[in-house]
Every structure is written in structure tokens, then in C-alpha cells.
Amino acid sequence: MAGFIDIACNFTHESFKDNLDEIIFNAELEGVEKFVLLCASLADLEPIQIIQNKHPEKYFISAGIHPHHANEILETNYEDLLAKLKSTTPNAIGETGLDYFRNISPPEIQRKSFNMHIEIAKVLNLPLYLHQRDSHKDFVDIIKHNINNIPKFVVHCFTGTQDELDDYLDLGAYIGLTGWICDAKRNIDLRKSIKNIPIDRMMIETDCPYLIPKNLPIKPKKNINEPKYLPHIANEIAELKGIEIEELKIATRENAIKFFS
């Protein structure tokens, strides 16, 4: 039977350095079939390839530089970055985008990196894996500027407003949903807006080891999120949308395969 696909796994994080095989095994026991390996920094490129090479049938790769690490583009150029990302044979380009929450990299460098990744995705004819936090206007403006020839894209870890959701859907985005929606107290608007996301534009994710669902019946000791909790997140989304969990699983799985293949 076909399983869930977790489109956001930060498996290069130190939380998984000693037990990744166990993490994958436990997720598969819960019905999670495939995983998207996220790349935040150029330093992640080699580790995610090593992970994928062990069981290539289990993984998709997204290769790029997270806006937190956008300063890395100052030490490379477009041609070198294109070559490095292409060498991983990625299924998507990213995680790229904008994050003004803490501005770990300066906004102007983030915007330059974002545009560079968009150009690479165009050249390689690959979808874009996008991140946005506290930067909606600039984020949307950059996408609109490229909309005539931008590849398909997913806005992962969506936690925004209905107006932001409308902007993304109007631009043709796929929407990635995490365990953030499991916090009913802080996410009233988000939980309402889920009903307005077409199921053919939806994907699901844990963003592990981050964003552990707040309403897990049994909390893990170290508060580390894992892909095995993806069915719990899916159940919450299915309830909010008023559909059966099996319908959600099949639709989000098909969306992910179409997107990353």
C-alpha cells in the first residue's frame, strides 16, 4: 500500500547523526514511504548525497542555500553554484527564499541569492523549494517578476494568513503544511485557511527535527520532531478539511511525486 511522503526532512541536522537508520525505520512502520532531503547550506550537499545513495528509492533531494546562509553566495558565483547544485542530481532547487525574522544574512544578499536560485532552476528545468518568513511582499514581488518562466514551486512550511495564501495560490504555488497546524491556540487563522487550499496543491511535511506537533499524545523526551509523526499531522489536516485521511494521503503523495519527479 502506498504511503505518505514527508517533503521536509533536515536529516543533516545533528539530532540525527547517530540514529538516522532508526528514524527512517520507525517512520516506515507508521506508513511514511519517502522523504525529501533538505539542503540548507552548501556544506549539506555531500551529506545528503551520502544519505540518498544508501537507499535512492526512498529519497528526493532539494539542493540550495537557505536564506539564513545566503552569505555563502559571496564566496561563489553563479556558474560555480550552478555546477555544485547540478552535481547532486537534485529533484528541486532550494531551500531558497527570504527570511527577515532575524536577518541572519542581510536582506539584500537574501534577495540576490533567491534570484540566483530561480535562474538555476530555470536552466535545470527543476521546481523551486521555497521558504518565506516575515518577508511576504518582497518574496511575492520576486516571484511575480519571474512568473512568465518560473518553474513550478512549493511554499514549504506555510504558516501565514489567508491573504498570503491567496497570493501564493494565485501564483500557482503548491503549499506545504507542517505540525504547526496542530497548535489550536496560536493558529486559528491558519487552521481556518486550510479548508481553502485545493487538495491538488497540498503537500505535507514534518520539517524535522523542528516544529514538533503540540498535541502529540506522548511527547518525546528531547522534543525532537521525526517523520513518524507525519500521519498525526495528516490526521489533523484531514479533520480540518473534512475529508478522510486516506484521501489526503493519496492526494498529497501524488502531488509530491509529480512535483519532485
Q: Record the cell numbers describing residue 110, joined without a space.
A: 537574501
One-letter-per-residue 3-state SS of 114-177: HHHHHHHHHHHCCCEEEEEECCHHHHHHHHHHCCCCCCCEEECCCCCCHHHHHHHHHCCCEEEE
Angle between helices 107-124 and 136-145 (to 10 degrees): 30
Buried/exposed 220-258: b ≥16 CB within 10 Å, e otherwise: eeeeebbbbbbbbbbebbbebbeeeeeebbebbbebbee
The dihedrals phi and psi of 150, each to the nearest 5 degrees, come to -75, 140
- Whole-angstrom distance, CA of residue 117 vs CA of residue 94: 7
Give the strand pairing for 59-63 and 92-99: parallel
The response to whether 156 counts as a known ligand-binding position is yes
The response to whether 95 counts as a known ligand-binding position is yes
For residue 35, list its beta bridge partners.
6, 59
DSSP string, 12-32: TSGGGTTTHHHHHHHHHHTTE
Q: Cα dist. 92→117, 215, 255 in Å? A: 10, 31, 14
Binding-site residues for a divalent metal cation: 95, 131, 156, 207
Annotated binding site: 95, 131, 156, 207
